[in-house]
Structure 1
Amino acid sequence: MSGNSTPSIMLKNSHFLRFAAASAVIVGHAYVLNGFSDPIETASLGLFPTGQIAVYVFFVISGYTILQSRLQSADTGTFLLKRFLRIFPGLVGSLLFTILLVGSICTSYPLGRYLTMPETWFFWDNLKLFPHTTHVLPGVFQGNPSQGVNGSLWTLSYEILLYAFVACIVPFFRSRWYLFAGLFCAFFLSICLFNDAIARHEILRIVHLQPDQLVIFSTFFMLGMIFRIFREQIPLKGTWAIVAIVAWLGMYYPSSIRGWVPLITIHWVRFFCLSYLVIYAASIPGRLNDFGRFGDLSYGIYIYAYPVQQVIIQYFGATMPIPLQILLAFVLVLPLAWVSWHFVEKPALRYKSLLRADPGVRKEQSLPPESSFKSR
């Protein structure tokens, strides 16, 4: 892209990328929930764990778009209201679906007892995200390799914490974005130096987050922010995308095979290479730019797929091959995601003007002029 197009046009491909990432989570979970290893991760020698990479793609895109949303919002309150309306109405729908429908048809208890057990309604604890939440329902999926009812929801806590992070830092860094970039470099250097200590640290109190996961998600998220901040200075080119792929995959040889550098170096390189590839892919012009006309189904896929896959495993897991399980999951989840978007998520977003009218895209004096990355 070139010329004076806006960042929103630059990331029009993000609808497809989020959809693809949500779909990849289904593929990754299909094997894990059946008690098998991810064949894509195995085939790639550990470089491409399907579900993890998909979630990282989400966080890179979120870093870019969430910062942009804050810069375009009238104030912090408007921004937070938009974030609340984007996450919680869909989550409420997913929890109702999981407790009332999935739980009712999959519990080993009599239906009346299941619906009157306090443990059933403890699952609403997932709404508050912090602190610790409940991941099982009484008698549900007890014969499955994994008893978790919706193991995808745990990442929402990290996402929402990073929304709060953006809300807090924008007023401070409004005219100091190079300082933010410098602090990010210091942050990244520190996680490289103290990686072992971070990995060994216990769950963080109060928020009950895993320190190592918080560091990983935050790094991808902040890299997305940096692409938004310095969109004029960072060139997006196919040549550099190829370099990123080679650097990422090529790191396996000196680290895992030769032992010249620590194995963790693969992860450090992946932060930058994957982030570049995600933003580059989002910038490519073409037919996929209009993918969002069908609605933003990625969130619905993400929050409904896990319980649907667990139902499939409970009833067909012993006889249905995993590729067919994946196909059936798509067939069942896509209508749920469509209904969630058109009848829950999209209508809820109409209330984002409750505080004050959102001025739309507005020019931020603290950032470069509104135009796209230079890309080929």
Structure 2
Amino acid sequence: MKRLPNLDPLRFFLASLVLLFHLPQLSANQGLPFFDGLPVFHRGLEAVYMFFVLSGFLIIRIIYRAKIRDSFSIKDFYIRRILRIFPLYYLVLGFGLLFYNVILPWLNIPFEINYTWKQALFYNVFFLPNVFAKLYDPGGIIEILWSIGIEEQFYLLIAPLLFFINAKWILRVLSILLLGYFILYWSDVFELLRQYTFVFFYLFTGGVIAILEERKKLEFLKCSAIFPAVICVATLLYYITDIFLFEPLWLRSLITCFLFGFFIHSLAFNNRGVQANSKVLNHLGSISYGIYMYHAIVLNAVVFLFLKLEILQNLNEKLTVILMLLLTFAGTIFIAHLSYTYFELYFLKLKNKFR
């Protein structure tokens, strides 16, 4: 299947927003200089939400197109997801558990552990890292796995569901699920869903928009450049200003569902010929999973250096903030590149056998 334009660079920018979100938090926690005075430094969670919309958009589009051809295989679908997600997920999970339970004590750095190894393995092996993160505060390297858990849970749900539904009913079923789940999520009766961030409605939204596009129901949006321009400007404002930070939260969430969904649609299908064809950006998008998964590890290493090396301690605050940002970005990208080239790519090539 031909890759849709502009989405690889989008992945990189979203992963970068997550890094920008976490850097000042850890720096402040360790008493180091930090800067978070711009709204863009507070949009890490929203970047993950857009990742969810993008995942729903792409995954459900793939399943729907396979259903149309009567060639959808649940087994192949899960094998492909396993080969993409599991190797890096379990690598980072294993390192995170060793880091907080073994490495930090060895370095005489205090860190409270309030879970057992059995609990850690149970929640994280059985696709509940979001619950584990909320219950035990296991540390940033492990806590970022919560979003991978949400996607894993969604895949477990969506593949069997769509397998047994006739293709002509998929749009209607997904729309009902989107509306029903959104209401349940924001109701007081199911507060547990909010407590553990089971935000499946973002993935459902991406899927609904993808199928609307497949069925040529969004052609009216392509008649003018005004709509994609407005959507792109609104999305940019969402990330660089605070104008969307209004109450109630459910309304803000509803707006972001469709803002993010139509933004992705505009980049992929309504871009008016504007495409990011940079090989560098496309590669950074390809390694964005690694950027997201490794950034907390690199961030901890950079903070450790600034805490322990006297030459770095003598820098002024502005230079410290800039240098920490550059080192974290450069180190994360470097490690993600190595991981993609020499580790992940082996498993990604195996995916071709299950297309």
Distance 1:224 1:32 in 2: 30
1:75 paired with 2:57, answer: no
Within the candidate set 199, 214, 217, 1:233 is matched to: 217
1:12 paired with 2:5, answer: yes
Distance 1:254 1:120 in 2: 41
Aligned position for 1:275: 261
CA apart distance, 1:83? 0.3
Bigger drift between 30-39 and 171-180 goes to 30-39
Within the candidate set 274, 288, 291, 1:298 is matched to: 288
CA apart distance, 1:84? 0.6
Distance 2:244 2:75 in 1: 49
Distance change in 2, residues 1:174/1:37 (3 Å): farther
Q: Give 5+ residue unaligned stretches, structure 1.
A: 1-5, 112-117, 138-145, 205-209, 361-376
Query: Whose relative contact order is higher, 1 or 2, with alpha carbons under 8 Å and at least 6 apart?
Result: 1
CA apart distance, 1:167? 0.5
Distance 2:331 2:295 in 1: 9
Aligned position for 2:338: 339
Distance change in 2, residues 1:157/1:175 (3 Å): same
Q: Identify, as 1 or 2, the structure richer in helix.
A: 2
CA apart distance, 1:190? 2.2
Q: Give 5+ residue unaligned stretches, structure 2.
A: 29-33, 110-114
CA apart distance, 1:159? 0.7
CA apart distance, 1:39? 3.1
How many residues are aligned here?
A: 317
Aligned position for 2:172: 179
Aligned position for 1:129: 127
Distance 1:341 1:253 in 2: 37
Aligned position for 1:219: 201
Distance 1:305 1:339 in 2: 14
Q: Summarize the alignment of residues 181-196 of structure 1 with structure 2, pairs less than 5 Å apart.
A: 181-184=174-177, 186-187=179-180, 190-191=183-184, 195-196=186-187
Matching residue's letter, 2:47:
A
SS of residue matched to 2:168: coil
Aligned position for 2:82: 84
Matching residue's letter, 2:227:
W
Distance 2:209 2:248 in 1: 28
Q: Summarize the alignment of residues 240-319 of structure 1 with structure 2, pairs less than 5 Å apart.
A: 240-244=227-231, 256=246, 262=248, 264-283=250-269, 284=271, 285-288=274-277, 290=279, 291-293=281-283, 296-316=286-306, 319=313
SS of residue matched to 2:5: coil
Distance 1:127 1:175 in 2: 35
Bigger drift between 118-127 and 164-173 goes to 118-127
Within the candidate set 88, 91, 94, 2:92 is matched to: 94
Distance change in 2, residues 1:323/1:169 (3 Å): farther
Matching residue's letter, 2:24:
Y
Could you state the TM-score of these two structures normalised by the residue count of structure 2?
0.73
Matching residue's letter, 2:295:
A
Distance 2:15 2:244 in 1: 32
Distance 1:14 1:106 in 2: 38
